[in-house]
A and B are shown apart, each in its own frame.
Chain A
Amino acid sequence: MFKKVLFSVLVVSSSLFAHSAIMSCFDNGDGSVTCEGGFSDGSSASGVNFYVEQGGKKVISGKMSEDSEFTFKKPSGEYSAVFDAGEGHQVYVKGSDITE
């Protein structure tokens, strides 16, 4: 039993490790921004942590939707959108790089 559990955990972590995390964001033009998360092997990012950081603080946080998306109200000033798929798998996108 223990062996089985250990094995599946290893498989999961190794599969996460082999692929890189990817995020792309766009401005919806209505004051909101949508970020899409994913992995280089095409696997879903549904349920993966996502947050918006401003001045080193998390101002918005949540999880990627079933469609691997997160939509949020665009904060004023500088910010970064962060796709947080675990250690070594964080993707930062600067607010100033997010366009329509």
Chain B
Amino acid sequence: MKKLVLSSAVVAVLGVSSAMAHFQMVYTPNTALEKGQTIEMKHVFTHPFANEHTMDMAGVEEFYSITEKNGKVDLKDTLKSITWKGKHNSGKAYESKYKARNMGDHVLVMVPTPYYEKNEDIYIQQITKTVINVAGTPNGWDAELGLKAEIVPLTKPYSIWEGGSFTGIVKSNGKPVPFAEIEVEYINNTPDMKNNAMGPNKYEAPQDSFVTMGIKANKDGEFTFALPKAGFWGFCALGVGSDKEYKGKELSQDAVIWVEAKEMK
């Protein structure tokens, strides 16, 4: 009996941590730009649906853009420290400005310094991809970058109607990860770019499994998910990266991609 109680307590704890997944955001309010312009980005480590706890980012190892014309361009120097305000607390985050001038796709990749998650006694590193497009011509959104942990899109991440779907392949060093575990979360508010804060929550989850939705890739590492509402949807393939340890502790090296659905109006 005692054992049973203990195990349900463990389940309860696990339940809480899985109900609110960590998500590294590389956020800009519009990923489908009409013309070339300088855009603002916010780099925040949070739980985007519930918005109950904002983590202190431990730093950034890499941040760069990839375009057809200029190849890989280091953007690490463009990052500035900010404090991001969530519903219950504030956390260390970054902001940056990016000159998205050339027509076509701009793939932005950020590799944060692993974050120590005390509750689980592990490090988490979410290699994050956000794709923006200028003027509508495609040239590189589907590039496979051979990252340690990566979601390669099969749908343009910036060109999906509300109610449409997103398909991607989970990969590690260019190889598909069969049956990868993927968490899905919606940015359940409109982030306030001026005041570095999350806005009020828009929707309520009927139950915890809707806060962070858990799905799995198929045998080829592919998954499809329908996006019921306009806005930003994050996909995070858990622990698929090839690095498994950091500072003597377990490392969950995850792959994150952000996808934006647009309202039909």
Are A22 and B36 in contact, with the CB atoms below 8 A? no
Listed stretches B15-23, B54-62, B101-109, B244-252; interface member? B101-109
- Residue in B35, B37, B69 whose Cβ sees the most chain A Cβ within 10 Å: B35
Are B36 and A38 in contact, with the CB atoms below 8 A? no
Closest residue of chain A to B139 (Cβ to Cβ) is A42
Residues of B within 8 A of A40 (CB): 136-138
Within 8 A of B (CB), among A77-100: 97, 99
Chain B contact residues, CB within 8 Å of chain A? 35-37, 69, 101-104, 134-139
A59 to B120, CA, bound (A): 67
Are B135 and A22 in contact, with the CB atoms below 8 A? yes
Are B69 and A38 in contact, with the CB atoms below 8 A? no
Selected A-B contacts with CB under 8 Å, 14 pairs: A22-B103, A22-B135, A22-B137, A24-B35, A24-B36, A24-B134, A26-B36, A26-B101, A36-B102, A38-B104, A38-B135, A38-B137, A40-B137, A41-B138
User: Is chain B's binding surface mostly helix, strand, loop or mixed?
Assistant: loop
Are B139 and A24 in contact, with the CB atoms below 8 A? no
Number of interface residues of A (CB under 8 A): 15
Within 8 A of B (CB), among A14-30: 20, 22-26
A39 to B35, CA, bound (A): 15
Residues of A within 8 A of B36 (CB): 24, 26
Are B136 and A97 in contact, with the CB atoms below 8 A? no
Are A42 and B137 in contact, with the CB atoms below 8 A? yes
Looking at the assembled complex, report how far the CB atom of A66 sits from the nearest CB atom of chain B, in whole angstroms.
Answer: 12
Are A97 and B35 in contact, with the CB atoms below 8 A? yes
